[in-house]
Amino acid sequence: MEYPEFQGKTAVITGGASGMGLLSGKNYAKNGANVVLVDINREALDECVKEIEAYPANVLGVCIDIRDYDKVCEARDKAVERFGTIDILINAAGGAECRICKAPAGPFFDMPIDIYDFGIDVNLKGALYFDHACMKVMAAQKSGVIVHFGSITGEEGCGKNIAYSASKCALMYGMNKSIAQAGAPYNIRSVAIAPGPVLTRPAMANMKTMVGRAAEVQEIVDMILYVTSKKGAFINGTHILMDGGRAAWQHSGN
């Protein structure tokens, strides 16, 4: 057990049935935490819950659409009813709207606007909804840590997935800092992790970085564990760019 302080704590993870969200849940479970996986994919969620239960570990799966605030509150209430607290919130749900919605080829101004509505709602409002709902619990217990997922795309911009880029930039800067300010009187920290290319999808392997590769998923999760642990207790209101030097490489003129 690398982080014994997670024993008996409760981690709520959105986007918990795949990628970095799922691996975060597995790592928290292996360190003795109660894990609440939140995802819209019922079939995948049920399989992930069974997998973590077999460790054995305490895990709850909640299938909701994070764009629905009432459902977000229901997820919070189920977590508290089952485990009593919410100590860690990982906002991992999200993705590039044009890829997820299978948008047609064409320029930004010809895209159906509902695709960009989806991108803003999932990538930004979903995190805001979970922050708002779960901070009520954290404030009452005078402790908590919130992690927002930014992205290198929030730094670089994207001429197609504009809602994704805008949302990630907002999460990394204005929202993360603001949540840290709102949470400070209640001993609640807020940290953003901004990955570059990560091997959650094969296409990520082709994105250039200074170190010549994409990140392993565990490398990102290791940072999430660190910033939510006692070791990361002095990290607050900032974002950590984990991009293999991609941003610096692009600015170098090479």
Give residue-wise pLDDT tens across range 58-81: 999 999 999 999 999 999 999 999
Q: Are the CB atoms for 19 and 43 separated by under 8 Å? A: no
Return phi, psi of residue 152, to 5°: -60, -25
Residue 200: name the closest of 1, 9, 18, 12 by CA.
Answer: 18
What is the domain count for the chain?
1
What CA–CA distance (Å, rounded) separates 77 from 83?
Answer: 10
For the entire predicted model, the pTM comes to 0.95
pLDDT tens digits, 137-154? 999 999 999 999 999 999
Least confident range from 14-23, 209-218, 230-239: namely 209-218
Return phi, psi of residue 51, to 5°: -65, -45
Q: What is the CA radius of gyration of the chain?
A: 17
Q: Are the CB atoms for 243 and 209 separated by under 8 Å? A: yes
pLDDT tens digits, 145-180? 999 999 999 988 998 999 999 999 999 999 999 999
Mean of pLDDT over the chain? 94
Dig out the tokens for 206 from the structure: 């082709």
What CA–CA distance (Å, rounded) separates 116 from 95?
Answer: 12
Dig out the tokens for 147 from the structure: 């992690």
Dig out the tokens for 81 from the structure: 């009813």
Q: So what's the pLDDT on residue 201?
A: 78
Axis crossing angle, helix 176-183 with helix 126-141, rounded to the nearest 10? 20
Q: Which CATH number covers residue 199?
A: 3.40.50.720
Q: Residue 243 sits in which domain range? A: 4-251
The 3 state secondary structure assigned to 10-63 is: EEEEECCCCHHHHHHHHHHHHCCCEEEEEECCHHHHHHHHHHHHCCCCCEEEEE
